[in-house]
A and B are shown apart, each in its own frame.
Chain A
């Protein structure tokens, strides 16, 4: 498979570009923020995502979805990133769907996701830095389980209809085995969420599980064997976050290059200064390399290739490096105006930081590569 978008994927990109650019440009996010909107995204917009078919992008055709892959999901995510559109698309339609696909939970949750009504959130992280350890306890209780503990960085957790929770049913935090994934509906007793606005004005919750009782059928996949479901979820989430970061970095770069062509100092366009040209050109190179890494990860995931996990780490780490450079150079090359709230470039810096942290930052993934390679 050649490493560029095929004709159908290019058509999808054009459609996504037009739709996201019109329905949820950066101004949409700014308006939500200015209104101090407590949801963190527009439910109307989520419905429109559904009407476009986007929420069903990874849902199998047999279940009413489009049955497409990570390349297509990434095409949409990149536009979401470029426009900084707040939406539960990544957590719900990508990561959660990937975890629920092929399980009985799909029948229950997919129709709502397809309709743009259901929102899913991921209760995976237990510390400020994403890690592999799962410490939260899920004790056996009756014919089910009882969950106790805390999770954090649960994006949209305060309004999600469904939480996908990783907990420990055996062993100790660092063990690979003994993890179980649960589908937890939001109104379950003992579940409390503490929503917090983040730097990019999105909302993520700290979630407390205080003896949350679940039936056995809340288990996604196998008891103690949740690591494989979690891996699927994370591979999808990481690849998706990489694609969104490409959009964030690319959007920042485009704004910056455009600014270099319009701002005059010393009687000339600042874009004619070689010092800035070289930095812009270097940034372009980093972004192109990141783009290739993302497409590689998406294609390998779609092909079910054994090398996918490595490629996903490369993509997440590389987009983290490149998008961080893009937003930093973006603010710097805008000069004073780049520091103002009124101008959009700062929003890219904030969103880029959140996505860089999500599902493991560049160091986390570089470390994963080193560990896998045995050093």
Chain B
């Protein structure tokens, strides 16, 4: 039996709900409240476990598509590698934010993500990329810090 995508998701959520359900029985009781802090989470977790199990069953009993004789139209190309790279760049930005500060980290982030999504090929394109990166950082900093008095992260390395 081959597990489908839904079965796999259902199994993950079922495992999480059962693990937390076991943990909920270890929560302390409160003297003045008739039901303890684990009462409501247990309802939620049982609901989650039941729906996860239902998803697995639904996926397992659903008829699998037989290999068709006619050629299946090609799926549009998906850039999953690019998505993973974008997440990594965002993660790096969040690491650098408290170290370099908002202004520097944002310039680096905007430039890096732009270059990743659409690599510049000419000096002019690189200049536009840099201008957008610096402009985004400068404009948002001025608007938020100066006009809206919303504080943005300072860098522990740069104090800027």
Q: Do A and B come from one complex?
A: no
User: Interface on A for B, CB 8 Å cutoff?
Assistant: none
